[in-house]
Structure 1
Amino acid sequence: MPRPTIEDVAARAGVSRALVSLVMRDSPKVSALRRAAVLKAAEELGYSPHLMARSLASRTSHVVGVMVSDLHNPFWAEVVDGLDSGARAAGFELVINTGGRSPARERQALDGLLSFRPAGLALLGTVLPAKAIAAASAHTPVVLVSRSSRTSTVDTVNDDGKAGSMMAVDHLVSLGHQEIAHIDGGGGSQAAPRRAGYLAAMRRHGLRPRVVRGEYTEAAGAAAVPVLLAGRRPTALLAANDLNAVGVISGLVEAGLSVPEDVSVVGYDNTWLAALRHVSLTTVDQPRVEMGRLAAQALVRRVRGERSGPARHLLTPRLVVRSSTRTTGR
């Protein structure tokens, strides 16, 4: 059956289309009796207002556009949980798409979200050029999660990636490890501060760093293992993120090595993957839901004109120790 329209609701309730529109916008100008009649008709017909149509009619959008860099990474699902909770509490709905970690695809995804005329945009882990982000912020409020910005019209929510990587290296050193390698996130968001933290901690401990370029994917983690084993075998690895760490563990097992008996592995994010019993990954925890909630809060305050200056949230990570790390046997 065709989707019921606002005209169908008006006919069923015996009122005008304009009055139905007022009810759907929760206007105080409608009497309790007529409001009840309209809502009863809408329920009987299974009608729900079209978000875009409602925004165009009222010239006030209730849509927040969300672009997720990688739908395969469970980290973003938890960030979206917090974002959705914060947005709904303020009366907004999410429209979500993805750019697949490709600048070209992300540009198309950004244009698609802007076509909804959203109240604001949340860009999660984007690899878009800074110029494209700044241009979007001229049309609607923008918040970045896991990405920095110097643009005053763009808000940011990050964890302290440098501090997180330093925590991981300090933990491994405390277990006696000296040959500690890092598989980084390549050109991905926040890969640079995590790499910087690793390098700084290794220098502080007087150790020789070894960085292998990677990506925030399981495949990249597995592909890095043969590269690492081609030289002097490290006793410990700091992976770009939890997905990358899972790939590393698979690659080490295929090479005949055990985790943590032969090589200790640390991830980053503390997603649900890390807590699985057969993975039990030591990892750096980012407060994922809180990051999403703060992103929603930043957008809502911009939309309501409560703030004009940039919000710069930098959250402190913490290390969660599980069974993928142990004292070195060398």
Structure 2
Amino acid sequence: MTANRPTIHDVASRAGVSKSLVSLALRGSPKVSEASRAVILQAAAELGYRPNAAARSLADRRSRTIGVLILDLHNPVFAEILDGVQTQVRREGFSTMLVSGGADPVLEQAEIDTLLQFQVEGLILISHRLAPAALRSISSEVPTVVVTRDDITAPRLDTVSNDDIAGAGLAVDHLVSLGHLQIACLTGGDNPVSHARERGYREAMARHGLTSHTHIVPGGLTDTAGYAAAAEALESSPTALFVANDIAALGAIAAIQDAGLIVPDDISVVGYDGIAIGGLRSVNLTTVVQPLAELGHLAAEHLVARIEHPQSRARHTRVESRLTVRGTTTRAVPVSR
């Protein structure tokens, strides 16, 4: 045994077999008898041998590794999607390498370039801020699936997203059913997902004949942004708020409480995403729930299919949301239109 990390030669010597037989056994080849495999695995265990993934990749010309770019490590939505990705990736026999560019397109490109240097077999982008040309270039080089966004298309770029327009409609429909007319929308800033949710709000208000009551307040996807947007919205005395995501909704609730008002008695609040924290008893947030784990599962399934069939047509899968009613919405005092 060498003084450094044990090698495949050490395993072969300990087991009394050839290096090639060790290699076949560790890969699970049916050409190796069960008796020989048991001896080889025992020798590897005794030595503490770990296969060299880089060397195996060179030999097999496959890394069995998928690169994952996550837009924001602090956003629990992306963490729950990632959990779904990794669960499905493991089932498919792959491992993952995770990076984040912190919503900076330059850093995102640099991180993706690094992943490609490690010979990942495909990429899953859990949202991104890349320019269309950059994304199309990446998808032409390596199988790629984008999760949460479907605004950029390319011949072999697959997407998995939520129907944010319909989801926003569920929130407005719920509030209108409770008698709310003065419903303000706190947006999530300048990004495709937030734009779609704002559009869904506008369309739903128009469908209910409430176009004149439409009230858009610029916001963001953080609790701080939600607090500031809610403080501004309160100046127009809404009876309900539809907030672009759950984290911002928590900030909005804090602003309402700091103004001396009660949720939901004075103002109802609906969030969006369905993150786990919203279901805590102390939060009890009414929200539009995305199937976050399903988004991750589908992304992984699509990517593996793309790896196996790289020339197939692009797939664009859109999943539906559902409304979960909890303790932050209630009936409004009836008023005439």
**TM-score bucket (shorter structure):** over 0.9
Residue 227 of structure 2 corresponds to residue 225 of structure 1:
no
User: What secondary structure, in the 3-state scheme, does the structure 2 residue paired with 1:186 have?
Assistant: coil
Aligned-partner residue type, residue 143 of structure 2: P
278-287 or 18-27, which deviates more: 18-27
Assess, with a 3 A threshold, how the Cα gap between structure 1 residues 218 and 48 changes in structure 2: closer, same or farther. Answer: farther
Assess, with a 3 A threshold, how the Cα gap between structure 1 residues 19 and 276 changes in structure 2: closer, same or farther. Answer: same
Q: How far apart are the structure 2 equivalents of 1:306 and 1:70?
A: 28
Consecutive unaligned residues in structure 1, runs of 5 or more: none
Residue 245 of structure 2 corresponds to residue 241 of structure 1:
yes
User: What secondary structure, in the 3-state scheme, does the structure 1 residue paired with 2:169 have?
Assistant: helix
Q: How many equivalent residue pairs?
A: 329
93-102 or 29-38, which deviates more: 29-38
Please name the residue that 1:34 is paired with: 36
Assess, with a 3 A threshold, how the Cα gap between structure 1 residues 328 and 122 changes in structure 2: closer, same or farther. Answer: same
Please name the residue that 1:215 is paired with: 220
Residue 304 of structure 2 corresponds to residue 300 of structure 1:
yes
Aligned-partner residue type, residue 140 of structure 1: V
User: What secondary structure, in the 3-state scheme, does the structure 2 residue paired with 1:190 have?
Assistant: helix
Consecutive unaligned residues in structure 2, runs of 5 or more: none
Residue 21 of structure 2 corresponds to residue 19 of structure 1:
yes
Aligned-partner residue type, residue 227 of structure 1: E
Assess, with a 3 A threshold, how the Cα gap between structure 1 residues 191 and 16 changes in structure 2: closer, same or farther. Answer: farther
Aligned-partner residue type, residue 109 of structure 2: R
How do 1:1-330 and structure 2 match up within 5 A? Answer: 3-148=5-150, 149-207=152-210, 208-229=213-234, 231-305=235-309, 308-329=312-333
182-191 or 62-71, which deviates more: 182-191
Query: How far does the alpha carbon of each residue in 1:168-190 deviate from its partner, in whole angstroms, 9 at most, with x for none?
Result: 01111111111111122213351
Q: How far apart are the structure 1 equivalents of 2:217 and 2:327?
A: 24
The CA deviation at 1:4 is 4.2
Q: How far apart are the structure 2 equivalents of 1:250 and 1:280?
A: 14
CA RMSD of aligned residues (A): 2.0
Larger-gyration structure (1/2): 2
The CA deviation at 1:239 is 1.2
Aligned-partner residue type, residue 49 of structure 2: Y
User: What secondary structure, in the 3-state scheme, does the structure 1 residue paired with 2:236 have?
Assistant: coil
Q: How far apart are the structure 1 equivalents of 2:295 and 2:74?
A: 19
Question: 2:231, 2:252 within 8 Å by CA — same for their partners in 1?
Answer: no
Assess, with a 3 A threshold, how the Cα gap between structure 1 residues 305 and 251 changes in structure 2: closer, same or farther. Answer: same
Query: How far does the alpha carbon of each residue in 1:273-322 deviate from its partner, in whole angstroms, 9 at most, with x for none?
Result: 11000111111111111111111110111111286111111111111110
The CA deviation at 1:191 is 1.5
